[in-house]
Amino acid sequence: MTQSNQKVLVAMSGGVDSSVTAALLKNQGYDVIGVHMNLRDTNLANFGSRCCSPIDANDARRVCDKINAPFYIINTEEVFRAKVIDYFIHEYLQSRTPNPCVECNNKIKFNYLFQKAEELGCDLVATGHYAQVVQDTVSNSSRLFKAVDPQKDQSYFLFGLSQKALQKTLMPLGGIPKKMVRKLAEEFGLAVATKADSQEICFIEDEGYKAFLETQVAPSLRPRGSVQTKDGTYIGEHDGLYRYTIGQRKGLQLTVKESEQYFVIGFDTKRHVLIVGSEKDLYQSALTAEKINWIRPPKGIQAFSCKAKFYRKKRSYRAYLEYI
């Protein structure tokens, strides 16, 4: 089957990236179908500049009209609330820093996209993510690589994809720098060519995640407590453990001099204690990882060497593991 008669379902957020993805594939001869996922209740949310608004849906529809492609909207409000928003709230209340975009990809987007693709008789699914899917003909498996633009790489958000999904997934922007994507949008005559990128969590408005949590969770479930050093010395009070993350320095309400720099190094959730220490206390020689997904499974269960990279973007630490 050649690409000229392959039918591909393109996830369309209404932004420039997914719009260019659809236009590129259409230009390459694919039979494109656009799908927009309605993740939130438009009657309750104050969308502002965030994504997933009625404006975004209309932008996606206009792009499909421009490239002469069918367009559908999938309503996923209830499952998005249950699988992503409730997860986000639960993790913060457990003193963990969640990544809702990863959960959304794993539990919502690709799950529903492949269901819709099957219903519509599509051979492939495409997204505007900045990552590269490479088909390894030797091992007959798919591999996930970083994007060529290191500033836009989104491969981390996709670690949960399965072999079955990757073998039917296209991510054409993984090999294109962001600046070129903007130029392509102009060349294709897309109205979204100059539309600003959405870089924040879609359901968190300008007030921030703390304000969001406080509207969702009763005060009794987010108690205040003391701030202590690792040896138990009292040095201040906190307004709720959910307001802090490992490595945080700013925003600590301490009774000590400002010249003494403290970082969040842990939590005592039973006693509602925020534990702080020096920068050196942040460094560890080991970690425990969970929810691991081996896109290319190792041969047997055994010890192996790997490389690890830790990224701190906004509030969360992120890790990549690679075989050596």
Q: What is the pLDDT of residues 157-176, one digit of tens each?
A: 898 898 999 999 999 999 99
pLDDT score for 171: 97
Task: Reply yes or no on whether 51 is catalytic.
Answer: no
The yes-or-no verdict on residue 314 having pLDDT over 60 is no
Same-domain check for residues 99 and 233? no
Residue 198 covered by a domain: no
Same-domain check for residues 181 and 267? no
Residue 248 covered by a domain: yes
Mean pLDDT computed over every residue of the chain: 86
The yes-or-no verdict on residue 132 having pLDDT over 60 is yes
Sequence-distant (6+) residues with CB within 8 A of 60 are 12, 13, 14, 18, 19, 34, 36, 71
For a pLDDT cut of 70, what percent of the chain falls above it? Answer: 88
**pLDDT, average across residues 3-31:** 93
Total domains in the chain come to: 2
Same-domain check for residues 181 and 257? no
Kindly report the pTM of this predicted structure: 0.84
- Report the CATH number that the domain containing residue 254 is assigned in CATH: 2.30.30.280
Report how far residue 72's alpha carbon sits from residue 34's, in angstroms, rounded to the nearest whole number: 6
Same-domain check for residues 264 and 145? no
The yes-or-no verdict on residue 120 having pLDDT over 70 is yes
pLDDT score for 136: 84
Report how far residue 129's alpha carbon sits from residue 13's, in angstroms, rounded to the nearest whole number: 11
Query: 51, 104, 122, 306: which is the annotated catalytic residue?
Result: 104
Residue 136 covered by a domain: yes
pLDDT score for 320: 43
The yes-or-no verdict on residue 101 having pLDDT over 70 is yes
Same-domain check for residues 16 and 156? yes
The yes-or-no verdict on residue 41 having pLDDT over 80 is no
Domain coverage including residue 228:
223-282
**pLDDT, average across residues 115-140:** 92
The yes-or-no verdict on residue 108 having pLDDT over 90 is no
Report how far residue 30's alpha carbon sits from residue 8's, in angstroms, rounded to the nearest whole number: 7
Identify the weakest region by mean pLDDT among 10-14, 48-52, 160-164, 311-315: 311-315
Same-domain check for residues 64 and 114? yes
pLDDT score for 46: 47
Q: Which residue is associated with the tokens 């802090």?
A: 244
Report how far residue 249's alpha carbon sits from residue 253's, in angstroms, rounded to the nearest whole number: 10
Report how far residue 321's alpha carbon sits from residue 298's, in angstroms, rounded to the nearest whole number: 12
Is 184 or 208 the better-scoring residue by pLDDT?
Answer: 184
The yes-or-no verdict on residue 115 having pLDDT over 70 is yes
Task: Reply yes or no on whether 306 is catalytic.
Answer: no
Tell me if residue 91 falls in helix, strand or coil: helix
Residue 264 covered by a domain: yes
Residue 246 covered by a domain: yes
Q: Quickly state the pLDDT bin for 292 (edges 50, 70, 90).
A: confident
- Report the CATH number that the domain containing residue 44 is assigned in CATH: 3.40.50.620
Same-domain check for residues 139 and 231? no
Identify the weakest region by mean pLDDT among 229-233, 263-267, 289-293: 289-293
Q: Quickly state the pLDDT bin for 253 (edges 50, 70, 90).
A: confident
Same-domain check for residues 143 and 230? no
Name beta bridge partners: 242: none
Residue 121 covered by a domain: yes
The yes-or-no verdict on residue 316 having pLDDT over 70 is no
Same-domain check for residues 100 and 158? yes
**Token code pair at residue 259:** 């010249």
Is 183 or 141 the better-scoring residue by pLDDT?
Answer: 183
pLDDT for 44-89, tens place per residue?
444 444 556 788 999 999 999 999 999 999 988 899 999 999 999 9
pLDDT score for 229: 94
